[in-house]
Amino acid sequence: MSVLHGVSADAPDDFVWLNTAHQGLLADAAVPALEQALAWKRAPYHLTGDRFGETAERLRGSLARLLTASADDIALANSASYGLHVLAHAMPWQPGDEILLVADDFPSNHLPWTLLAERGVTTRVLSPAGGAPTAAEIDAAIGPRTRLLCLSWVFSLNGHVADLAGIGAACRDRGVAFAVNASQGLGALPLSVADLPIDALVSVGFKWLRGPYGTGLLWLHPAFRDRLRPLKRYWLTLMDERALAQPNLALDIGDDGTARAFDVFGTASFFNTLPWTAAVDDLLTVGLEAIAARNRSLVQRLIDGLDRRAFRVLSPEDPAHRSSLVYLSHVEPARNDAIAPALAGRRIFIAARAGALRVSPHYHNGDADIDRLLSALDNLKQG
C-alpha cells in the first residue's frame, strides 16, 4: 500500500516502529512479491532460466531510476559492506597511499580499509568540528598521498547530513576518489548521482528502502569503474541457462564492461530481489520528494512536541541540515539506558545509540505514532 501516513492494517500487532535506521518495515507492496518467490520455490518448474536473469535486471533497473543512473553502473550487493570491500580490494593501491575517514562514522565505513595495511596502505581519521565534516575541513585534511575519502551521507550515530556536493567538489579538485555510504539517507531523501561529484556509492536495502535483509547496492561512476580490477568471474553475469544447454560450453566469455562484474554471487536470489524491487518501485510511485516532505513533517512534530525541560535534541534541528534520524537525551543522560526498554514495553520501538535515544520515523508512520511516543516520553520523564 502506497501511503504517506499510518502503519498498514496488515501489521501483525499494535506497535509503533520508529527504528527504520536499524531495520525498515517491509513495504506492503513487497509482500505479494515475496509470496511469488515462495511459490516459485515450492514449484520450481516455475523458476525458469529467464526468470533468474529477469529478477536481477528488473531490480537493477529500479535502482537505476532511484539514483537517476544507468543500470550498467549498478552492481547488486547484499550489504553496504560488500560494496566497500569491493572498492578496498579492487583499487590499484600503491604502498604509501592513504585513505581518509571520519571519526564517529559507522564501523562499516572504517573496517574494510584496515585490511590494506599489509599492502602498505594507511588510513587517517579526521575529527570534524561538528557532527559531519565540511567541505573546507575535507579540503584541509587531504594530503599528498590521500587517494580516497569514505564517509556516510547521513551519519548513523549523530543524524548529521554531509554536504556531498561540496565535499565531492573538494575531492575532485584534489584528484581524490570519493566513496559514499548512503544507507541512512537513500529512500528517505532524494539523491541523484548524476548531479553529484562522487565516484562510488553503497547502500543497504533493508532500511529506508524497505526491502528484505541481505540486500544492497554498489553504484560506480564509469570513469572510476575503469580503474578497478574485477575480483571474480561469476558465470551468471556472463552467460545464462541457454548457454549450459549447448554441446560445447564456452568459457572464454569476456566481461561486458559494466558494473555487473562486481555483482555479489547469487544475484538471482529471488526471495530478496522480487520483494526489494517491489519496495523500490513503491517508493518511486509515492515519490522521493513527497517522502522527504512527509519525513520532515514527522521529525518537526517530534521536535515541536518534546518537553524541553526533560529532553534535549542532540541532532540538528535546522531543516537544512537534519535527517530523519533524531537523537534525543534526557536532561539526566544516565536515564537514557532505561527509556528505550520502557518504550518497548509499551510497543514503541526506537534505538539506544551512542548513549542517547535515536528515533527514526519514515513516511509510513502517522502523526499518531509521533504523538504516542511523545505521550510515553512525557510519562517516563520523571523516571
The three cell numbers locating residue 307: 518537553
Structural domains in the chain, CATH included, are 30-241+255-284 (3.40.640.10), 287-380 (3.90.1150.10)
Angle at 179 between CA 157 and CA 254, to 5 degrees: 135
The bridge status of strand 356-359 relative to strand 311-313 is: unpaired
pLDDT at 10 over 60: no
> What pLDDT does 85 receive?
97
pLDDT at 9 over 50: no
Number of H helices, E strands in the chain: 13, 13
pLDDT at 1 over 70: no
In the block, which residue shows the cell 526533560?
A: 310
| Lateral strand order in the sheet of 351-353 | 311-313, 326-330, 356-359, 351-353
Q: Within 13 Å and on the Cβ side, how many CA atoms surround 77?
A: 27
What is the SS3 assignment for 234?
Answer: coil
The amino acid that residue 301 corresponds to is R
Radius of gyration of the chain (CA): 22
| DSSP string covering 290-339 | HHHHHHHHHHHHHHHHS-TTTEEE-S--STTTB-S-EEEEESSGGGHHHH
The three cell numbers locating residue 191: 539523491
> What pLDDT does 230 receive?
85
Count of CB atoms within 10 A of residue 346's CB? Answer: 15
E-state strands within the chain = 16-17, 74-77, 98-102, 122-126, 146-152, 177-181, 200-204, 216-220, 311-313, 326-330, 348-349, 351-353, 356-359
> What pLDDT does 239 receive?
63
50-54, 88-92, 265-269: segment of lowest average pLDDT = 50-54
Of 133, 144, 161, 149, give the one whose Cα is nearest residue 224. Answer: 149
When the pLDDT of each residue in the chain is averaged and rounded to a whole number, the result is 92
Confidence category of residue 6, pLDDT binned at 50, 70, 90:
very low
Confidence category of residue 335, pLDDT binned at 50, 70, 90:
very high
Count of CB atoms within 10 A of residue 133's CB? Answer: 28
Left if phi > 0, otherwise alpha if psi is -120 to 50, otherwise beta: which for 16? beta
3-state secondary structure 100-153: EEECCCCHHHCHHHHHHHHHCCEEEEECCCCCCCCHHHHHHHCCCCEEEEEEEC
179-232 residue pLDDT tens: 999 999 999 999 999 999 999 999 999 999 999 999 999 999 999 999 999 888
How long is the chain? 383
The bridge status of strand 356-359 relative to strand 326-330 is: antiparallel
